[in-house]
Every structure is written in structure tokens, then in C-alpha cells.
Amino acid sequence: MIVPMPIIIVVTFAAVMGVAAVSTMVERRLLGFFQDRPGPNRVGPFGMFQVVADAVKMLFKQDWVPPFADKPVFLLAPIVGFMAVLLEFGVIPITPHWSIAGDLNVGLLFVFAMMGLAVYSVVLAGWSSNNKFALLGGMRAAAQMISYEVFMGLSLLGVVMTAGSFSLHDIVLAQSRCWFVIPQFLGCIVFLIAGIAETHRLPFDLPEGENELGAGFHTEYSGMKFGMFFLAEYAGVAMISALITTLYLGGWGGPILPPFLWFAIKVVFLICFFILLRAALPRPRYDQLMSFGWKILLPVSLINIVLTGAILLWQAGA
């Protein structure tokens, strides 16, 4: 079944935005359940329209730019962040036939390029706010995201080496016999952790650590500009979930159910897992986060590459 490309683009991006929006509500509901309370349940049946209410609130809030801010940069920062996340979805193969650029031969590199751009969003937001909390948040975000991008990339090399391709489509196809989560278990864990850090989600939300930095890099943001950061964060969660699905959980692959459903199930499961992490784990200290990255994740991912390479060479040699 060939669907025209414009429809794919529109539907994909709409779906991503929808997932991001709904996951804000799902997160609050789930957090409630984890904490033995109902969570938001007042707006609509089961609180389902909470999303709508939040969106309306966000849109109607005063869109305020602080007089001391660097205005153009201040306006640009959330747009950059949001665009980068959306563009990443461009290369995710949702089904064999449903992807904007699924077969791009440097798909994975494109994802990384976009993630690199997302750093700018946070750093620029922190910088342009002209606020010491925002700046501290921005600085933390820069260090954290740049560091974890290293391990993220290194952890993926196992998958790339095994699949022999940077194309996500090819990587999914390479998992038709065995999901990479099994041979690349170490890489998967490192990627997961790095993914959380990359999206600065709890427990690694140090750039916006509210108890010490107010709201971190987006302290001065309000209204829909804040909304864009907010959506970008949840879209980022969906993005990391989609990437893990694609890279380690066999993408759309699975028996009986149609490929799209398999993809959706895996992504939703991972999103819920991210929420569970948020509910369960406390935030580490900043120096703990950095030393964990450089002293544990980096060696682990290097070992993973060496082992994968050795096994591949051994298999090739045999």
C-alpha cells in the first residue's frame, strides 16, 4: 500500500504532536496511580480532556517576553528545539511503507544531527533569558547533552556494525530474526540511559531542576513558547521510544498484529517505562550525573563496541 508522501508527512507530524500532547496527560495520570492518587480526573470522562484544557490555557496565557531578554534569540530557542525533534521523526520507519524518509542511508546520522541541534535550543533559551537560573540551566543542559550524545553514539555503533547500515529501515530489517536488544543488551541500556539524559527527563532533568534553579533554562518562558518546550520534551520522549523500538526492539516487526500496531505498542510501552522511571527514581546530583556518564557509560559502550567488533570479526572469520 503506497500512501502519498504529503499525507504521510502531515499524518506523521500530527500523530507525533498528538502523542506528545496525550503523553502529558498520560504521565500525570500514571504518576498519580504510582503515587496512590487518581491524578487529573476532572475534565471530561477520566480526565481525558485535561489535555485540551491545558492546551487552551497555554494558548491563552500572556505570551510575555521579559524586557531584559535577548528577544530574537529568546523567540528562536523554543522553535529550534521543537523543529529538531519533529525532524528526527522524519527518518523513523513506522511501518515498512510508512516513513517520510525511512530509507535514508544516513538516517541514524541525521537523527544525531538533529539531536545536536536540540542542544542549541536549550542553551540559547538559557542564555537569552538573561537570568542566572536560566543560564545555569542552559550550561548544565549543554554539558549534559553533549556528554551523553557521545555515549549515545558509541552505544549505537554496535547496532550499526551488526546491521551494517545507517539506514533505520535496514536496521529494522536486520532484526527480523533476533531483536538487537539481545545481542546489544549493553548498548541498549546505555542508549536508554543516554536517551533519558538527552531529553533531560527525570531523573536526569538537572537543566530544569526546579528546587535549585527555579525552572532552569525555561524559567522566563510562558505561554505557547513554554508550551513548545513542553511539547518538545514529550515529543523527545516519544522520539527516544521510537528510536529504541527501531534500533533494539525490532521496529514494526512482530507476529499476527499489523506492523503499525506493533510499532505503537512498543513505543507506548517505552513511554510508560519512562514515566515509571520518573515516578521511581530520585534525581542525581549534577557531578554524579557527569561522572556516571564519563566513568561508567563511556567504558561500557566502548567495551560493547570492542566485544561486538570481536564477535563480528570472529563470525566473519569463521
Partner 1 sequence: MIGIIRTLWLTFLHLFHKNDTVPYPETKPYLSPRYRGRIILSRDPNGEERCVACNLCAAACPVDCISLQKGEKDGRWYPEFFQINFSRCIFCGFCEEACPTYAIQLTPDFEMSEYVRQNLVYEKQDLLISGTGKYPDYSFYNVSGLAIPGKDKGEAEREAAPIDIHALLP
List residues binding partner 1 (CB under 8 A). Answer: 30, 33-38, 41, 276-277, 279-281
CB of 312 to partner 1, least distance (A): 28
Give the residue with the Cβ less far from partner 1, 35 or 176.
Answer: 35
Q: In what helix (H) or strand (E) does residue 187 lie, and over which residues does it extend?
A: helix 185-198
Closest CA to 100 of 108, 85, 90: 90
Q: How is 145-168 classified by DSSP, letter by letter?
A: HHHHHHHHHHHHHHHHHHHT-S-H
Residue 94 or 192 having the CB closest to partner 1: 192
Q: For the chain, how long is the longest CA-to-CA vector?
A: 68
For cell 543560564, name the residue.
Answer: 135
- To partner 1, the closest distance from the beta carbon of 36 in angstroms equals 4
DSSP letter string over 71-82?
HHHHHHHHHHHH
Residue 119 to residue 125: CA distance in whole angstroms: 10
To the nearest 10 degrees (0 to 180), the angle between helices 223-248 and 107-128 is 150
- Which C-beta is closer to partner 1: that of 73 or that of 277? 277
Q: How far is the CB of 66 from partner 1 (least distance, A)?
A: 28
CB of 194 to partner 1, least distance (A): 16
Coil, strand or helix at 253? coil
CA distance 169 to 162: 14
Question: Which CB atom, from 42 or from 71, has the smaller least distance to partner 1?
Answer: 42
Angle at 213 between CA 210 and CA 217, to 5 degrees: 95
| Cβ nearer to partner 1, comparing 30 with 235 | 30
- Shortest Cβ distance from residue 42 to partner 1 (Å)? 9
What span, in angstroms and rounded, lies between the C-alpha atoms of 78 and 62? 16
Rounded to 5 degrees, φ, ψ at 91 are -105, 0
Please count the other Cβ atoms lying within 10 Å of the Cβ belonging to residue 176: 10
Other C-beta atoms within 10 Å of 56: how many? 11
Nearer to partner 1, 257 or 276 (CB): 276
Closest CB 281 distance from partner 1, rounded Å: 7
CB-based contacts of 206: which residues, under 8 Å, 6+ apart?
A: 140, 144, 200, 216, 283, 286, 289
Q: Residue 292 Cβ, how far from partner 1 at the closest point, in Å?
A: 12
Nearer to partner 1, 76 or 298 (CB): 298
- CB closer to partner 1 out of 34 and 294: 34
Shorter beta-carbon distance to partner 1: residue 280 or 310: 280
Write down the least CB distance from residue 27 to partner 1, Å. Answer: 14
Residues near 186 by beta carbon (within 8 Å), at least 6 away in sequence = 155, 158, 300, 301, 303, 304, 307
| Residue 32 C-beta: closest distance to partner 1, Å | 8
Amino acid at 39: G
